[in-house]
Structures are given as C-alpha cells and as structure tokens.
Amino acid sequence: MSSNHSYIPLNPERREIRLLEISPWKQDQNEQLRLILKHTELDNAEPFDALSYTWGDPHPTFTVNLDGAEFDVREGLHTALLNFRQRDESCLLWADAICINQDDVRERESQVGIMQHIYSAARFVLAWLGPPTGDGDEAVEWIRSVTPLGMVDSPWLDVILLLEKPLFRRIWVVQEIVLGTVVKVYCGNESIDLAALLMAHHVHSTLSTHDP
C-alpha cells in the first residue's frame, strides 16, 4: 500500500489502539471515503465494531482520504468500508490494514499480540464476505426468515457458496470470529448472525449425509 499518511506511534504499555471513524457520505454513496484515525487505550475505548475480512489481491487499490492525506487500500477493504459507511452519522470501526501501521514491524507484532482482546472488546464483529455472488442476498434472506429443516432445494446451494467465500478459509478470520461476542455476517446489503448461517450449513451437511 502506498500512502502520504504519517502515523502517530502507539504506546504498547498503555495498550493503545487506533479506531477508524468513517465520515458519512454527503452527495453520492460511492464518493471518496473520508476517514479519521482516533487514538485510544483499549481498556477505555468508546463502543466500536471490529471488521473481519480478507485482504485479497494487492491490486487494484483505491485511494481514500485518511486524516486529510491520500491512503491506498485494497479492493476488499474498500468495498467493506463503503458498505458500512452511513448516510447521516459517523461510525467507528477497527480494521487492521489501516488501524495498524503496516510499515512498523514492532507495532505490527505488538498489535497482533493484543488482537484477541480487540475483537473481544468490540460490540460486534462484522464479517464481510464481499458483494453477493449468484443469489447470495436471497440465501441470507431465506436463512433468516424460515426454518431450514425440510427445505433443501436451491437456497442450499447459495448457503454453500456463502461458506465457500475466501473469508472462511483464512485462519486469522476464524480466530476473529471465535473471539467476537456477536458476529454479524454481511454479504452485500444483507446480514445474518453467524450462528444462523452455521446452523443452516450443519443442517445441509446432515441431510446430505442421509441422502440415498
């Protein structure tokens, strides 16, 4: 990632972290992201959500405004931040690619050491799967609105597609999800609690095992 942004160092002895404030969009939902980093001690942090996502390919990158400077982020993070940006108010997230100075090896190691505490302290872990593929939105809505037992036609294929997203194959993300008090899984504009998604997958696996 290239950037004109300069980080202010964190104090590891005070378990300092950075939180990312996403300013609301003004005229266009796809306008450039305006972001502000806020220093805080983890033990005294205001309520925030922790983002869980895959970094993905290094290209393409998208330029955001971070503390008034240009900062390049990868596509996966960019789409996630656009998705969670609000119309009328700012929101506060923790996202490792921005909240940790990736060019500072000591800081990276220190922040990874308290990452479990960051995810545990978050109100929600927001697991971002990315934009929907196929009928992903329909699958999420279906799982949320019906009892899956006895319903094994086409929506199951979309449930499987959701669980095959790269997010669920990344070991760091598995840790993040386990540590989160409440995990909300997002696919495009739809969201579902992780427990419901895993239950749907479990039922599908059980029924598949008993297929003639």
What pLDDT sits at residue 65?
97
Q: Report d(CA 60, CA 111) in Å as an integer.
A: 26
Q: Do residues 179 and 120 touch, judged by C-beta distance below 8 A?
A: yes
The mean pLDDT value for 109-124 works out to: 91
Where is average pLDDT lowest: 47-61, 85-99, 125-139, 169-183? 169-183
What pLDDT sits at residue 55?
83
Mean pLDDT of the chain: 78
How far is residue 120 from each of residues 10, 15, 94, 137, 183, measured CA to CA in Å? 20, 14, 12, 28, 11
Q: Report d(CA 79, CA 207) in Å as an integer.
A: 35
Please state whether the predicted TM-score (pTM) of the whole model is above 0.95: no
HEC string of the chain equals CCECCCCCCCCHHHCEEEEEEECCCCCCCCCCCEEEEEEEEHHHCCCCEEEECCCCCCCCEEEEEECCEEEEEEHHHHHHHHHHCCCCCCEEEECHHHHCCCCCHHHHHHHHHCHHHHHHHCCCEEEECCCCCCCHHHHHHHHHHCCCCCCCCCHHHHHHHHHCCHHHHCHHHHHHHHHCCCEEEEECCEEEEHHHHHHHHHHHHHHHHCCC
The mean pLDDT value for 46-63 works out to: 90
- pLDDT: is 205 or 116 the higher one? 116
What pLDDT sits at residue 153?
43
The mean pLDDT value for 53-72 works out to: 92
The 10s digit of each residue's pLDDT in 150-171 is: 333 444 445 555 555 555 555 4
Where is average pLDDT lowest: 2-11, 121-130, 165-174, 177-186? 165-174
Band of pLDDT at residue 142, cut at 50, 70 and 90: very low
